[in-house]
A and B are shown apart, each in its own frame.
Chain A
Amino acid sequence: MSRRTRWNGAALAVVMGGTLAAGCGAPGGDAPQPEATGASLAAAPTCGTAPVTLNAYIETGFPLAKELSTEFSKQYPNVKWNIREDQFAVITQNAPRVLADDPPDLMRLPQVSELVKNNLLKNLDGYAKAFGWDSWPASQLEQMRLGPGGKTRGEGSLYAMGLNFSMTGVFYNKKLADKIGMSSPPATLAELDDALAKAKSAGIPPIAQFNGGATGGLAFPLQDLMASYGPSGPINEWIYQKPGATIDTPSNLQATRHLEKWIKAGYFWKDVNAVDYATMMSRFVKGEGLFMFNGDWESGNLDKQMPGDVGFFLMPPAQQGGKQAAMSAPLTYGISSRAKNADCAAFFLNWVATDPKAREIGVKVGGSHPMGPADAPMPEVAEDTVTASTLAAGAKIAEDNGAMDFIANATGAIYAKSWTPQLQKLVAGQQTPEALLKSVQSDYTSQVGGS
């Protein structure tokens, strides 16, 4: 190398170094400042009469939000919509940045703890009071309440609202059930075990479930078994990050052992670790499984694809007549703390829960139970449809106070990093029920303590 080359190299280093110097200083800190509390309102807000454009960021693939927005504009013509759609996984990744940089008036939300921690969501307490959401059954809003700083969930201020709330349980193929002589849904866990064994010996795949890739679908039957063996309260406390909560309890261990028994008995497909959600659905529709642990967001779809052939029941309790529980979660939407039209967005959320037409759309298009007061009129649904039985199941869960959030929602990473790999290992015989719960609990402790 010549001397000049070396000099040029040095010059280059200086030039590059200069460009890099930009952006030093600790990263972050551009999040909004905390609001004191939800401002109290003199009267319930409306969308007014002047033209308004609501910015909404919704989940693609589910027509509910869009149909509701269309109907809303029909009733309130001054409101126009600017809708952006993405897959839920994309929304999950983008949520904090979008809420901070390009604040929508209304947005489909993933797990909200971190968003509340960074003051990205509007505190809805003021609206709740003005619209009377406080008088609805408390369990509907519980999952969207957070303590100061977003630390624990389940109580505190309201930060999101549901368009409806979903219910999970067990779907079954009625034709296959006839073949094994199952005339009514099992009333106890033992009866369910019996039906599974009969299906297996009749050559019918007993359970259609997914557990492949990054989506450990065996968490559905596992949590159902947990609720079958024990009370749902402690499971919710764990999900809500209450201090001292643990998933590693004796009844949960029984549940995990029961799941392992099902795996060893061959009740799941042999390739369940390679089956994703879409594959499970198409196989179940084709009749390649007697039972499927899933949620009522598929009710409308199943009514269309297998009319009259599908039934739904809540997970039976271990003891006859015991209380029943189910994963049940609102389809959460929130308002950005920097939203321009927060009042109108809140008015829309209230309209979704209380307007008869909106409630009907919620059931017919969304397939799930609408939010709102306990005595609000229910849209009519044809009997003998899955939708009818999932709605009825909702009433039973409300009676037993058995609504649980999903164990996958306890922390942002617990599903992908803990439940999914652990359940896949359980399927492959590489993990024991004891170690599974211990491992999930230790991941949970480090995530809850470390954030």
Chain B
Amino acid sequence: MTRPTPDSAVDSQATRTGPAAVTSKRSPAHAAGLRTPSWVGWLFVAPALGVYAVFVLRPIALTVQYSLYRWDGIGPSTWAGLGNYVRVFTDPDLFASILNAIKLIVFFSVIPVVLGLAIASTIRRIAASRLALVARTVLFLPQVIPLVAAGIAWSWLMSSTGLVNQLLTYAGLGGVARAWLGDFSTALPAVGVIGAWVLLGLCTILLLSGMSKIDAALYEAARMDGAGPLREFVSITVPSLRQEIGVCVTVTVIAALASFDIVYVSTQGGPGNATMVPGLEIYYLAFSERQVGMASALAVVLMLLVILVALPIQWLTKDRSS
């Protein structure tokens, strides 16, 4: 029951417990008083469980089923066995899209988490000032803006006459100016930058709230022992934020692997498949090529990949003390 799906893997940090855990934890508290029959717990959970089963589990099961057929979405289907899965790994275009998603992890996860740590600890030092409030708001703003709007705004910024190139030209770097989203070598990193911008705020705020829980006495003690800001950061801040970093990495890695909206709005997978990611490929396969079976197979592979990546992160960042 505690096998994490992508969703519960994220939420497990938030001390949300499953129905089984609820009943077993409640029992000791009530041991002295009235005994509540165990099925009452189920009654409370039933509505949520029903919705979850119909809107999450059933679609997953159907996707797995579809992935074993060749089907255009309307007409009769034919059994394909594992043929669709074989193609996911042998078709160079499909496999390349999975590799692109893995490359995006650098931008969607590594940059936001590392930069977020640095920014959060800087903001914490100036926590009382007005600047900290402004910085927090500005950094979190991308979370509020719809991704589609962000994608459009960034594609203007990165167009050949956009702000990015204007600044470069102004700085005497006109030679590097180019259509960042239309160039084979820069399109994927450019999409990555948009993702980093979106996720940086989330990570910063998460880490900042984590930092506020750290006992100030720890820092004081470290300072008395002669530790500088860097030492404090490495020896106190980072280890104390183990769980928050875990959440950040998990959320952002999933965002990278399952990315769709930013890519769809800014490049639509182009130029020449340079920014094709599995999410977009699934969409094209299902709705323009009408290969529902292939799309489902790729979706199942993507789901397994997400679980495969998220599980070790959960395990590594688990709070060992409890």
Contacts and interface: CB of A to CB of B under 8 A. Distances in A.
A118 interface: yes
B284 A416 contact: yes
A321 interface: no
A114 interface: yes
Contact of B66 (A27, A279, A422): A27
A416 B267 CA distance: 13
Interface string A242-276: 00000000000000000000000000011111110
Q: Interface centre among A30, A417, A422, A431, by most B CB within 10 Å?
A: A417
B19 interface: yes
A271 B54 contact: no
21 contacts: A5-B24, A15-B49, A23-B61, A26-B69, A26-B77, A27-B71, A28-B76, A31-B74, A92-B288, A93-B287, A118-B74, A211-B271, A212-B271, A271-B179, A273-B183, A273-B271, A274-B160, A275-B182, A412-B289, A424-B271, A430-B272
Interface of A: 2, 4-5, 8-9, 12-13, 15-16, 19-20, 22-24, 26-31, 92-93, 96-97, 100, 114, 117-118, 120, 211-215, 269-275, 279, 412-413, 416-417, 420-422, 424-425, 427-428, 430-431, 447, 451
Given A30-B74, A31-B75, A118-B75, A412 B290 contact: yes
Contact of A27 (B69, B93, B159, B267): B69
Interface in B155-204: 159-160, 178-184
Interface string B1-42: 100000000000000000111011000000000000010000
Nearest to A213: B268
B62 interface: yes
Contacts, number: 159
Given A27-B66, A28-B75, A29-B75, 5 more contacts: A9-B1, A26-B69, A273-B183, A428-B271, A431-B272
Nearest to B23: A8
B74 A214 contact: no
B179 A96 contact: no
Contact of B62 (A2, A23, A417): A23
A22 B272 CA distance: 41
Given A273-B270, A274-B159, A424-B272, A93 B288 contact: yes
B272 A425 contact: yes
A24 B58 CA distance: 11
Contact of A22 (B58, B69, B270): B58
Contact of B65 (A9, A24, A96, A214): A24
A97 B73 contact: yes
Given A92-B288, A421-B272, A114 B19 contact: no
Contacts of B38: 4, 8
Interface in B270-299: 270-273, 284, 287-290, 292
A213 B273 CA distance: 9
A214 B269 contact: yes
Contacts of B289: 412-413, 417, 447
A272 B183 CA distance: 10
Contacts of B178: 270-271
B193 to A, nearest CB: 15
A29 B76 contact: yes
Contact of A212 (B19, B182, B184, B292): B182
Contacts of A24: 65
Contact of B179 (A23, A118, A273, A425): A273
Contacts of B72: 28, 96, 114, 118, 451
